[in-house]
Structure 1
């Protein structure tokens, strides 16, 4: 503890959301090439090189242009932690969070900050979460107040669907 502030609290305070365009493509490619990412991301296929990362960022930026909201890069200072945010899926806003393996412990703090944003945004009366059935630890979602609403098929893969009211 330093000056009455734990390192974890200080790390959370330093957390900022930025556009993915602020992150070098090679950082995103390195993150998404980590084999641990694919364990719980059934849609993660193919090789992640700089070109794939640039295409990914371009696709996420198109969501910002279309919907006025999209995915962010999560940074602590200038350190890239991962990416995620809100993406419009039909009439629903889906929330995703993809952190570097060494940053998994920051997931709850990042999710709380993003959900605080959603609660202030009148466009988002609720958010959904799609998790693959390989995820066994659902307690963090329950702590946030999310409830499972069923299962869905998305791009040929089965996901557990959760919903969290933001109002």
Structure 2
């Protein structure tokens, strides 16, 4: 009889312990701290979820890359990509070049099949990314440019007042 009266109490203690434990969230655990925002054709949009700052340094690539991206509350995607020649992390101005490095991108919805990118100068795209500070653990800077629709090159968006400051997660191979 004593076991029967103890079981409900043990069940209650187990329930309290399980609900008090924080569940592991793979998106939260791999999320950078900081902020990212920009004005797109004059309208301010800000990352509010899944902000990531990633630094990729692989053996097979003579460049290393910083990628900062995230989603707004209504799932608009913002991203910037900076390439570092000879893997030299240093502050400075990085512009879109003929090889498609140093880019900016935006998608109205993550599930859309097309977006706007500053990744090909021949279509009138432009990107200027100014890194105020950069290390393997933190990045801070501003960005602006002209984004071109990836299907209809006559459609463009203007990015102004872009800014970010993020903690960085380093990936190597």
Same fold per TM (> 0.5)?
Answer: no
Asked which structure has the greater CA Rg, the reply is: 2
Which TM-score applies when normalising by structure 2? 0.29
Which TM-score applies when normalising by structure 1? 0.29
Choose between structure 1 and 2: higher strand proportion.
Answer: 2
